[in-house]
Amino acid sequence: MTSGARSAPRTDPRAPRWRRALSALGQFVFPRTCAACDGALDDSDDGLVCGRCWARLPLLPSPRCARCGHPTRPRGACAGCALLPPFVRAARSLCWVPDDTSSAIVSALKYDGWPGVADGIGARLARLSWPADVVLERTALVPVPLAPVKERARGFNQAAVLADAVARRWGIPVWRDCLSRTRATPSQTRLTPGERLANVHGAFLANAECAEQLRGTHLVLVDDVLTTGATLNACAHALFAAGARTLSYLTFGRARTAADR
């Protein structure tokens, strides 16, 4: 993946001829490339990720559990629902992670410095199907907060830009300040499920000044990937303790369980 500068977006065909010529020259010298695969973007591509990458996403197959959104099997308990606290109404994810394509898109967003990738993700997340009561009740989107030192180093919080992209399409607000991270935590990537729980225990706190705002709400927590649910559950517990009535989860990627492999 590249982290070099991308050229400007396509020029409006109604623009003056000289501007269109200048844009064509720029495309020749600095061709637009996909943030995920480094392939050339063509005129049908809108945004920083090419249509080929979006088409290759390993979408979660159907049928899916109406509550947790995890692919279901004809027999046995739902593995996804077992991860959720009782006050979590629903969870939705777009695709499996890790995977060559979905991991490349997440990496472009989180590590390669392309927050604009969030808009294409958000457009697809906003179209996911939810239970009718979630659609009716959802009050606001709450991004999982980063530690301040990590957000300063990255320049943005990837969960927040995803929440912004979804909020524009759902027409509800993003509440960035009602939840904070009390301490920096090591990356969860290489931790066992038990280590993940210990790693985020007590790491999130609802802002006391937001208690009245939170009371009785149905909040949708947003993050890039759901693995064991430890981080999202820790956030949900903090918000529920502060007065939120119901939580739901929204992520771009979801890790496979042992049964999905």
Q: Is 206 exposed, middle or buried (0-12, 13-18, 19+ CB in 10 A)?
A: buried
pLDDT of residue 62: 93
What is the span of the domain harbouring residue 222? 57-260
Mean pLDDT of 11-36: 57
Between 74-83, 103-112, 228-237, the lowest mean confidence (pLDDT) is in 74-83
160 located within any domain? yes
Query: What pLDDT band is residue 114 in, cutting at 50, 70 and 90?
Result: very high
Count: domains in the chain: 1
Quick one: pLDDT band at residue 197, thresholds 50, 70, 90?
low
pLDDT of residue 239: 98
Question: Residue 192: enclosing H or E segment and its boundaries?
Answer: none
pLDDT band at 258 (very low <50, low <70, confident <90, very high): confident
Model pLDDT for residues 71-94, shown as the tens digit of each residue? 987 676 787 898 899 999 999 999
Q: Are 254 and 226 in contact (CB under 8 A)?
A: yes
Domain harbouring 155, CATH code: 3.40.50.2020
Average per-residue pLDDT for the chain = 87
Q: For residue 86, is it within any domain?
A: yes
Q: What is the pLDDT of residue 4?
A: 39
Query: Could you tell me if residue 171 is inside a domain?
Result: yes
Between 100-110 and 158-170, two packed helices, what is the crossing angle to 10 degrees? 100
Place of tokens 């509550």: 67
Q: Does pLDDT of 11 surpass 80?
A: no
Confidence bin at 33 (pLDDT 50/70/90): very high
The answer to whether position 33 is within a domain reads no
Q: Using only C-alpha atoms, what is the Rg of the chain?
A: 20
More confident residue, 142 or 79: 142
229 and 84 Cβ atoms separated by less than 8 Å: yes
Q: Give me 26's structure tokens.
A: 């720029």
Residue 64 lies in a domain: yes
Q: Is the pLDDT of residue 195 over 70?
A: no
Q: Is residue 207 part of a domain?
A: yes
Q: Is 138 exposed, middle or buried, given 0-12, 13-18 or 19+ CB atoms closer than 10 A? A: buried
Q: What angle do CA 256, 259, 261 make, to 5 degrees?
A: 55
The answer to whether position 253 is within a domain reads yes
Q: Could you tell me which of 162, 179, 98, 176 has the C-alpha nearest to residue 128?
A: 162
Distance of alpha carbon 58 from alpha carbon 194, whole angstroms = 27
The arithmetic mean of pLDDT across residues 89-116, rounded, is 96
- The pLDDT of 221-234, averaged and rounded, is 95
* Whether 248 contacts 170, CB under 8 Å: no
Burial class of residue 233 (count of CB atoms within 10 Å of its CB; 0-12, 13-18, 19+): buried
